[in-house]
């Protein structure tokens, strides 16, 4: 029995397509958990900033520690169910640490910043990473990064003293909604 080269190529293309869609579904599933985790924590951080501004720095240290720990736990848990993604999860963890490190360097270089500027700085830096991820992982990440960045800028310009509440709703809420939407797509 001989296979026609066109049929063989079509079969290989179909297998590759199924593999790509499966990998995308796994990536979306893992990412959705991260989005929701960070959305809840970021919303809490901005609410803490609004209601207890004198202790905002401590609140953000706790949020960051919980977020990095939670991200690590989700990656470890996810890599047990999908061994192929364990190296990707490890690289994402290193990328998160690099992001925090570069963010701290930029803060040091750009200091002094007002509280308002710093409140815009971190989520904008993170959304830039989402835009970059969107170039490889799909338009969903690109759209999320650009959309949330636009909301950060809108709030920065027009919300006045309500800016931390705006960020809690738009950045935290945006990440939560995006995570739930991703779960639907996976």
The answer to whether the predicted template modeling score (pTM) of the entire model surpasses 0.85 is no
pLDDT of residue 155: 96
The rounded distance, in Å, linking the Cα atoms of 168 and 49 is: 10
Say which range, 85-89, 94-98, 102-106, 165-169, has the weakest mean pLDDT.
85-89
Chain segment 114-126, per-residue pLDDT in tens: 989 999 999 999 9
3-state helix, strand, coil in the chain (%, to 5): 95, 0, 5
Please tell me the distance from the alpha carbon of residue 107 to that of residue 19, in angstroms, as a whole number.
41
Q: What is the pLDDT of residue 89?
A: 59
| Residue 172 DSSP symbol | I
Q: Which residue has the higher pLDDT, 72 or 18?
A: 72
pLDDT at 109: 94
Is pLDDT above 80 for 33? yes
User: pLDDT (tens digit, 9 = 90+) per residue, 130-161?
Assistant: 898 888 877 888 999 999 999 999 999 999 99
Is the bond leading into 112 cis (omega within 30 degrees of zero)?
yes
Closest by alpha carbon to 88, among 133, 123, 131, 148? 133
Dihedral sign, CA of 178, 180, 184, 186? positive
Mean pLDDT of the chain: 84
Q: Output Rg (C-alpha) for the chain, integer angstroms.
A: 20
Segment 76-98, tens digit of pLDDT? 876 655 555 556 656 766 787 88
């Amino acid at each position: 029995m001989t296979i026609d080269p066109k049929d063989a190529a079509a079969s290989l293309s179909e297998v590759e397509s199924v593999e790509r869609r499966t990998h995308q579904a796994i990536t979306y599933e893992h990412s959705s958990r991260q989005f929701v985790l960070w959305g809840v924590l970021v919303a809490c951080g901005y609410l803490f900033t609004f209601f207890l501004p004198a202790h905002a720095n401590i609140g953000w240290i706790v949020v960051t520690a919980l977020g990095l720990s939670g991200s690590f736990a989700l990656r470890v848990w996810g890599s047990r169910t999908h061994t192929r993604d364990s190296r990707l999860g490890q690289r994402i963890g290193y990328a998160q640490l690099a992001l925090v490190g570069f963010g701290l360097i930029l803060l040091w270089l750009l200091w002094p910043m007002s509280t308002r500027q710093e409140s815009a700085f971190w989520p904008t830096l993170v959304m830039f990473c989402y835009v970059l991820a969107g170039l490889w992982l799909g338009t969903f990440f690109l759209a999320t990064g650009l959309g949330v960045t636009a909301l950060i800028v809108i709030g920065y310009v027009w919300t006045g003293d309500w800016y931390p509440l705006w960020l809690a709703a738009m950045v935290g809420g945006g990440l939560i909604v995006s995570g739930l939407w991703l779960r639907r797509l996976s």
